Amino acid sequence: MDIALDSRWIYYPHENRIVEDGRIIIEGTEIIFSGKKTESKAVTSGHDRYDYPLGIIVPGLVNAHTHLPEVLLRGLNDDRTLQEWLEYIWKYEPNMSAKDAYWGSMLGIAEMLACGTIGFNDQYFYSSQMAKAVHESGIKAVLSPSIFYDGNPEANSMEEAFKHAINTYNKWHGKDNRLWIGFGPHAPYTVDDEWFQRLADEARNRGTTLHTHFHETEYEIETSIKKVGKRPIEHMEELGVLDVIRGAAHCIHLTSREMKILQKNQNSVLHCPKSNLKIGAGIANIPELIRSKVNVCLGTDGQASNNKLDMIEEIAMEVLIHKGFQRDPTLMPSHEVIRMATLNASQLFPKRVYSGTLTEGTSADLTIINLDSISTTPIINPVSHLTYAIGRENVGMTVVDGKILYHEGTFPTIDSEQIKAQARKATKNIIERTEK
Task: Give the whole-angstrom CA distance, residue 125 versus residue 68.
Answer: 9
For residue 363, the 8-state DSSP code is B
pLDDT of residue 130: 98
Q: Chain centroid to CA 41: how far?
A: 34
Q: What is the dihedral of CA 286, 287, 289, 293, to 10 degrees?
A: 130
Contact 139, 146 (CB under 8 A): no
Task: Give the whole-angstrom CA distance, residue 38 versus residue 49.
Answer: 16
pLDDT of residue 410: 98
Task: Give the whole-angstrom CA distance, residue 20 versus residue 23.
Answer: 9
The reply to whether the predicted model has a pTM over 0.95 is yes
pLDDT of residue 213: 97
Identify the bridge partners of residue 214 per DSSP, sorted by sequence position: 250
Helices (H), 93-126: 98-114
- Residues 119-146: b if buried by 16+ CB within 10 A, e if exposed: bbbbbbbbbbbbbbbbeebbbbbbbbbb
Task: Give the whole-angstrom CA distance, residue 401 versus residue 365.
Answer: 6
Contact 131, 175 (CB under 8 A): yes
Task: Give the whole-angstrom CA distance, residue 374 versus residue 232.
Answer: 48
Indicate if 61-348 has the same CATH topology as 2-57+363-407.
no
pLDDT of residue 228: 96
CA angle 380, 384, 387 (to 5 degrees): 145
Full DSSP string of 14-61? TTTEEEEEEEEEEETTEEEEEEEGGGPPPPPTTSEEEEEEEEEEEEPE
Q: Which long-range contacts (CB under 8 A, 24 or more apart) does 154-158 make?
A: 154/98, 154/125, 154/126, 155/125, 158/191, 158/195
Q: Is the dihedral of CA 223, 224, 225, 228 positive or negative?
A: positive
pLDDT of residue 273: 97
Angle between helices 218-228 and 232-239 (to 10 degrees): 50
Q: Which of 204, 307, 253 is nearest to 269 (CA)?
A: 253
pLDDT of residue 303: 87
Task: Give the whole-angstrom CA distance, residue 194 versus residue 190.
Answer: 12
CA angle 279, 283, 289 (to 5 degrees): 140
Q: Is the dihedral of CA 283, 288, 290, 296 positive or negative?
A: negative
Task: Give the whole-angstrom CA distance, residue 61 versus residue 297.
Answer: 11
pLDDT of residue 90: 81
pLDDT of residue 225: 97
List CB contacts of 342: < 8 A, sequence separation 6 or more.
Answer: 13, 58, 59, 60, 61, 62, 356
In residues, how long is the chain?
Answer: 436
Q: Is the peptide bond before 59 cis (omega within 30 degrees of 0)?
A: no
Task: Give the whole-angstrom CA distance, residue 375 versus residue 386.
Answer: 12
Whole-number Cα distances in Å, 264 to 267, 293, 325? 8, 9, 28
2-57+363-407 belongs to which homologous superfamily? Urease, subunit C, domain 1 (2.30.40.10)
Q: Which long-range contacts (CB under 8 A, 24 or more apart) does 405-411 make?
A: 405/113, 405/118, 405/137, 405/138, 405/139, 406/113, 406/114, 409/114, 411/110, 411/113, 411/114
**Strands 2-12 vs 17-27: parallel, antiparallel or unpaired:** antiparallel
pLDDT (tens, 9 = 90+) of the chain, 436 residues, equals 799 999 999 999 999 999 999 999 999 999 999 999 999 988 888 899 999 999 999 999 999 999 999 999 998 888 888 778 777 888 888 899 999 999 999 999 999 999 999 999 999 999 999 999 999 999 999 999 999 877 788 888 999 999 999 999 999 999 999 999 999 999 999 999 999 999 999 999 999 999 999 999 999 999 999 999 999 999 999 999 999 999 999 999 999 999 999 999 999 999 999 999 998 999 999 999 999 999 999 999 998 889 999 999 999 999 999 999 999 999 999 999 999 999 999 999 999 999 999 999 999 999 999 999 999 999 999 999 999 999 999 999 999 999 999 999 999 999 999 999 999 999 999 999 998 7
CB atoms within 10 A of CB 14: 17
pLDDT of residue 140: 98
CATH pick for 61-348 out of 1.10.3720.10, 3.30.1120.10, 3.30.2320.50, 3.20.20.140: 3.20.20.140
| Beta-carbon-side half-sphere exposure of residue 406 (alpha carbons within 13 Å) | 26
**Residue extents of the structural domains in the chain:** 2-57+363-407, 61-348
